Structure 1
Amino acid sequence: MSLEAVVLIVVAGLFAVVSGVNDGGALLATGLKLPTVRPATGIITLVVLVAVVPLVTNQVALTFVTRLASFDEPGGQIAMLLAVIASLVVVTVLSAKGRPTSLTLAVVGGLTGAGLGWGLEVSPGAVAQVLAFGLAAPFAGGLLAWVVIRLLVSVTTARGLRRWHWVGFLVQTFAYAANDGQKMLAVFMIAAGFSGAPPAYTVAAAVLFGLGTLYGLPKAGRTLSREIIVSRPLHGVAAELSAGTAVLACAAAGMPVSMTQAIAGGLIGAGVAQGGGRVRWYAAVKIVAAWLLTLPASALLGWTLALVLKGFEDVEFS
C-alpha cells in the first residue's frame, strides 16, 4: 500500500469522527425533548444503520467518487486527500466562529476544487446537478414539514406522538445511512481502491462516526433544537419525518444531500406552519449564510492546495 493510501486512510478515519460530530448530533437533536429514543439507543441505531445500509446500496458514495471528478485516475488519491483536508478546515473554521455548516457541501466543494487543481477531469454537469439537489433538499424538507405537522396535529395524541417519533427517527437515520453518511465510505473507497462496500470498512466508519456523535451531541442539540426555533416535540417529529423523506428521495436518485440542511429546513417549515414567530430568523439566516460560504471556500482551498502540491511535484521531477 502506498504512502498516499495510508495517509488517506488515516484522514478518512478522522473524517468519519468529524462527520459524527457535525452530523450525528443533528440527527438526534430534533427529538431530545421526547424521551422515546434515548441518546444511547439513538447512537447505537445510527452506528448499526451506517454500517449496514451501504451493504445494500452505495450509489451516493459512487457519485462522490466517480461522477464529480475522475478520482480513479493517477493522482486521484492525493486529490481526494486534499479535498478532505480542505473540507475539514472550512467546517472547523466556520464552526469555531459559531456558524455551523454542512460537511457535505464542504466535501462537494473540496472535491471539485482539488480535482480541478490537480488536473483531473471534472464534470460541470454532475457538479451542477448535485448542487441543485442540495439546494432543493432543505426547501423540500420545509414544505413537507409544513404539511406533516398539520397532519400530526389532527391525527395524533401525546402518546401517539411518541410512536411517530420512533418512525421519524428510523426514517431519518435510514435516509442518512443511504445518502449523506456515504461520504465517509467514498473517502475509504479512494484510499483503499475498492468500489463496493466491504463490511470491515463500513463497520470501521460507523464506529468512528458513533464516537464523533457522542462528542458532538450537546452542541448540535443546542444549535438545531434551540437556536433555529423555539422547538416543541411536535416540531422535532415533523422535521424528522420530512427530512428523512426528502433525503431518501435524493438517495434514490444517487444524489448526495445534507441531512443537517434538510433537518433545519424541516424545523423552519414546522415552525412557520404554527406561526412564523416561533422561528429565530436571525439564527436561520446566519446558518444559511454559512452554507452559501462553505462550498466556494472549500473549492478555493482545495484548488489552492492541489496547485501548490502539484507545483512542488513538478519541480521535484523536472
Structure 2
Amino acid sequence: MDAVVLIVVAGLFAVVSGVNDGGALLATGLKLPTVRPATGILALVVMVALVPLGTHQVALTFATRLAGFRAPGGEIAMTLAVISALAVVSALSAKGRPTSLTLAVVGGLTGAALGWGLPVSPGSVALVLAFGVAAPIVGGLLAWALVRVLVAVTTARGLARWHRAGFLLQTFAYAANDGQKMLAVFMIALGFQDAPPAYTSLVAVLFGLGTLYGLPKAGRTLSRELIVSRPAHGVAAELAAGVAVIACAVASMPVSMTQSVAGGLIGAGMAQGGGRVRWYATAKIGAAWLLTLPASALLSWALAALVRGLTLL
C-alpha cells in the first residue's frame, strides 16, 4: 500500500516538475522564434526519456546518497518528503515567489529521513548544497562573458543558430541532472536502481503535460521579470546554465536548472550594465530560494515524526 501511494505521488511530482521547470527551460528563448514552444516541449520530453538510459547517477544521488530510504519505512518517509516539497513550492508560487523544486526536494528528503529516524549522510547533503550554490554563480559568470562575445561577433542569423545549440545543451543538461529527481522517486517506490525505459518514458510524458500547463506563467517570470531581456541575454543564459549543470552532473551532484538559468540571465544582464537587472524581482526570488530548503526540511521532519509516532502507538 505504501508503494502504491508513493507511485501516485511520484506521478504527481513529475507533473508539477513540468509546471515548475519546463516553462523556465523554454523561457529564455521566448524572444527568439527559432525554437517554437511545441518543438521545445517535444525536445524536452525526448531528452527526459532517453538521457537517463545512458546516465542516471544524479537520480541515484537523490535516492541513495542523501539518506537511507531503502530501510524500513523509507517509502513512507519519501512520500512525506515529496508532499512537503510540493506544498512549500506551491505555497511560495501562490504568493508570486517562484522557487527551486530541487532545493525543496533536498530539504524534504533530509527532513523526512531525520523525522523517521533513517540514516542521513551530512557530508553528502553538504556537498549537494555546495554545488547548488555554485551552479547559478558559475552560470552567471559564464553568461556575463558569453553575452559580450555574442553581441560583438554574432549576426541575427548566427544568434538563431546559437539559440538552437544552447537550447539543446540546456535540455540535455536538465535530463542529465535536475530532471532525474523525478526518476529517483520511482526508484524508491519500486525498488530499482537502473533506468527502465518504461519509467523514464512515463516520467517524460507526465513532465511534458506539466510543461504545457506551466509554460505561460514560468516563462513570464524568467523572461520578463528578472532582467530587461534581449535575445542575446537568453542565448547566453542557455549556454552558460547548460555548461554549469552538465559539469555538476559529471560529479553526480543534483542542482537546479531554473536557478542556473536565473543566474545566467542576471549575469548576462549585468554584462551590459546593472540597470538591466530588476533587482527587486531578483531579491524576491532569492529570498524564496533561501526559505525553500529549511521550510521543506522542517515540514517534512514534522510530518515524518508525527506519522512515525502514530504508527508506533
TM-score band w.r.t. shorter chain: over 0.9
> How far does residue 116 in structure 1 lie from its aligned partner after superposition?
0.4
Q: Which amino acid aligns with 2:143?
A: A
Cα distance in 2 for partners of 1:176, 1:268 equals 19
For 2:163 and 2:213, locate their aligned partners in 1 and report how far apart those are by CA, in whole Å. Answer: 23
Q: Which amino acid aligns with 1:292?
A: L
One-letter amino acid of the counterpart of residue 197, structure 2: P
TM norm structure 1: 0.98
Structure-1 residue corresponding to 2:9: 11
> Equivalents in 2 of 1:303, 1:172: separation in Å?
34
From 205, 208, 224, the counterpart of 1:207? 205
The secondary structure found in structure 2 opposite 1:34 is: coil
Task: Select between 152-161 and 10-19 the one with higher mean Cα deviation.
Answer: 152-161
AA aligned opposite 1:38: R
Structure 2: runs of 5 or more not aligned: none
Question: Which residue of structure 2 lines up, in the alignment, with residue 301 of structure 1?
Answer: 299
- Which of 129, 132, 136 is 2:130 aligned to? 132
Q: CA RMSD in A?
A: 0.4
Mapping of residues 193-272 of structure 1, within 5 Å: 193-272=191-270
Query: Please, which runs of 5 or more residues in structure 1 have no aligned partner?
Result: none
Q: What letter is aligned with 1:24?
A: G
Deviation at 1:5, TM superposition (A): 0.5
Alignment equivalent of 1:91, drawn from 68, 84, 89: 89
User: Identical aligned pairs, as a percentage?
Assistant: 80
Displaced runs of 4 or more, over 2 A: none
Map 1:162-173; keep pairs closer than 5 Å. 162-173=160-171
CA distance in 1, matches of 2:253, 2:299: 23
Cα distance in 2 between the residues matched to 1:102 and 1:61: 17
Q: CA deviation at 1:156?
A: 1.0
Tell me what 1:67 maps to. Answer: 65
SS at match of 2:312: helix
CA distance in 2, matches of 1:133, 1:89: 24
2:278 pairs, out of 255, 277, 280, with 280
What is the CA distance between 1:288 and its match in structure 2?
Answer: 0.4
- Partner secondary structure for residue 26 of structure 1: helix
Q: What residue in structure 2 maps to residue 33 of structure 1?
A: 31
Q: State the Cα distance separating 1:52 from its structure 2 match.
A: 0.2
Asked whether 1:121 is paired with 2:119, we answer yes
Tell me the secondary structure at the aligned position of residue 41 of structure 1.
helix
Whichever residue aligns with residue 161 of structure 1, its letter is L
Aligned residue for 1:73, secondary structure, equals coil
Using the TM superposition, give the Cα deviation of residue 154 of structure 1 relative to its aligned residue in structure 2, in angstroms.
2.2
